[in-house]
Amino acid sequence: MKRTAKDLSEYLGCELEGDATIEVSGIAAPARARAGDLIYVETQRHLGPAVASAARCVLAVPGVVIEGKTILRTAKPKLAFAQAAAILAPPPPIAAGIHSTAVISPSAKLARGVAVGPYAVIEDGVAIGAGTEIGAFCFLGAGAHLGEQCRLYPRVTLYAGSIVRDRVIVHSGAVIGSDGFGYVAANGKQWKFPQVGEVEIGNDVEIGSNTTIDRGSLDRTEIASGVKLDNLVHIAHNVRLGENTVIAAQTGISGSVVIGKNVSFGGQAGLGDHCRVEDGAIIGGQAGILPGKTIHAGQIVWGTPARSLEKFKAQFACSQRLPELIKRITALERPVIQK
């Protein structure tokens, strides 16, 4: 979709410098950009590739000089670039219309503009909001609710009764509403504990490929609005994730964990059951939080068991000296042993 530089400056609230009439029709990295693509520069360090780029229109911070380009000035070029991408490069449709091979219950309610791809299955009592797209081979179990303007890529599964609010993006292979991992040991056997609770996904959530979100056991699993989950994340039963929390790949969150707003997780983090992570905390990659522990608001933790970043760096630095220290101790002990 084409826009002029003037259109973009008004849409983004940027200050325009240069030719307001040039057309911008896409987005790209500087080295790959064509003349009609938009690029961005955050610091002087990124200036060289932008100067050499074929792109004629650049988002840049104040003070960065780029000769021969039309500049859109903004304090946050990367944010403006993401906002521009929404109108310059919208994602292609997942489905169009209702495919003839889709299996849709007569009791399901599909609002205006819903699209359903090949071999999707929509069971009894499912409700789907306006403008939602459902990819090939998706499964929506009985009584599931899917809001407006959602995008389900192929092979997404919503178990019966799952609730997904508006503008949610779910990538291929994700499963929402599966049973939690709960058993009671007795008489040499593991007895399955009931997994009959609910799962609710808030507005504007994005869920990566092959991520799993279990339903509550007797309560509810809640993913608040604005949460972003990477691929291969596991959310266990009764977990509550606060607004705008971001979780990177291969993180596992055990049952009944409560996580606040605006928390950031690095990849492969692990949380034991009944942990609490307060607002604004940062959990480093491969950090391990023991069951029942609390990470306080704004705290940055790393390592296993998780500890403050300052303590982790100090202890890690010491561990790098262990081979040297072992040699020194061995040298000190040898005369004593010989005596």
- Two tokens at 133? 């797209």
Inter-CA distances, 284 with 56, 193, 209, 266, 268, Å: 39, 33, 22, 5, 9
- Two tokens at 101? 């091979």
Tally of CB atoms within 10 A around 328: 11
Q: Is 237 a catalytic residue?
A: yes
Instruction: Please report which residue ranges of the chain form alpha helices under DSSP H.
Output: 5-12, 47-52, 77-88, 309-320, 322-338
Of the candidates 257, 245, 268, which has an alpha carbon nearest to the alpha carbon of residue 293? 257
What is the DSSP secondary structure assignment for residue 61, as one 8-state letter? Answer: -
Which of the residues 145, 171, 234, 237 is marked catalytic? 237
Compute the distance between CA of residue 170 and CA of residue 82 in angstroms, rounded to an integer: 19
Compute the distance between CA of residue 167 and CA of residue 164 in angstroms, rounded to an integer: 9
Prior bond to 305 cis, omega within 30? yes
Compute the distance between CA of residue 304 and CA of residue 243 in angstroms, rounded to an integer: 26
Residues contacting 232, CB < 8 A, separation 6+: 208, 209, 210, 211, 249, 250
3-state secondary structure of 260: coil
Q: At 327, phi and psi to the nearest 5? A: -60, -45
Task: Give the residue carrying structure tokens 């304090």.
Answer: 75
The catalytic residue positions are 237
